[in-house]
Structure 1
Amino acid sequence: MSHPIEIQTVIKASPERIWKALTDKTEMKAWYFDIQDFEPIIGTVFDFYEPGDHKKYHHIGEVLEVIPEKKLSYTWTYPDFSTAKSTVTWEINALENGDTSVKVTHTNTEEFSELGENFSRKSFAEGWSGILNQSLKPFLEK
């Protein structure tokens, strides 16, 4: 049984601005990952490494769902270590006060648990919390 990781925050930015940060390669590089072949088009396959010179974790994803300014979903895999596949979904919801709620959900992370502590539920939850609250939010609210 899958236990999705869900991390949510409120950002003082419009859904349009958040969407651009989630889908524009130049903006993504500033707060997320350098993903040169990413396009917010269903079926697009992209790959990237985590930052740093060591190129430790190679990721490959495929865009599954695109609802502009509302939802973006893609697969998340580590082809050098496993054939397992998980899914990352970003949801954007405008709030009445002008702020925007952003939620990231990562499902099927338990598929990677045999790969060790760096692939544990705790590690994924901490990683997504950092990406959302220490990277995306400050990038958009600066």
Structure 2
Amino acid sequence: MHSETIHVERTYPINATKLWQALTNKQNMKEWFYEIPNFTTEVGGEFEFFKHNQQQNTLYQCQVIEIIPVELFKFTWRHPKQSAGTSIITWRLIPRRGATTLHLTHEGLENFKDAGEHFTQDNFELGWERILGDQLSKYIDRLNNTR
């Protein structure tokens, strides 16, 4: 079976510790990502959240697979109301002289073939580009401007 994987890489003008806090602190996450009341970074821990829009309400269920603080956060990503499939997301932080590169990998998208047109690789790519390129960038700009 053909594996469908997304790779998105963005470099932010922030150190790795602050970017890690943006990615893994639920108060910070609701500013740029989603509100996730039961968010956890404990391996084996589970969290979920909803995305509401005109087309549908989507439930996201996730389970933490691996964590290396300030380096790597890996978790499953499921849409149980739309699909029996599971994918895996990895956020890897790479320090760069005064900045940090975030490399996102979203693998296993072929497992969502049963979910319909909203769950295509193209739609996931557009979503991650918007989330990381727009929403997270604006959040980090606000952080940098409040110092």
Paired residues of 1:59 and 1:76 also in contact (CA < 8 A): yes
Partner of 1:101: 101
Paired residues of 1:13 and 1:141 also in contact (CA < 8 A): no
Match status 1:37 vs 2:38: yes
| Pairs aligned (count) | 141
TM-score, L = length of structure 2: 0.90
For residues 53 and 66 of structure 1, the distance between their equivalents in structure 2, rounded to whole angstroms, comes to 34
Runs in 1 of length 4+ with deviation above 4 angstroms? 51-55
Partner of 2:145: none
Worse overlay, 108-117 or 16-25: 108-117
Paired residues of 1:42 and 1:66 also in contact (CA < 8 A): yes
Paired residues of 2:4 and 2:121 also in contact (CA < 8 A): no
Q: 1:55 to 1:25 in 2, by over 3 A?
A: farther
**Residue 113 of structure 1, CA deviation:** 2.5
For residues 26 and 58 of structure 1, the distance between their equivalents in structure 2, rounded to whole angstroms, comes to 20
TM-score, L = length of structure 1: 0.93
Partner of 1:79: 80
Partner of 1:88: 89
Match status 1:127 vs 2:127: yes
Secondary structure at the residue paired with 1:50? strand
Q: 1:139 to 1:51 in 2, by over 3 A?
A: farther
Partner of 1:114: 114
Paired residues of 1:59 and 1:77 also in contact (CA < 8 A): yes
Q: 1:43 to 1:16 in 2, by over 3 A?
A: same
For residues 110 and 62 of structure 1, the distance between their equivalents in structure 2, rounded to whole angstroms, comes to 19
Q: In the alignment, residue 34 of structure 2 is paired with which amino acid?
A: F
**Residue 141 of structure 1, CA deviation:** 2.1
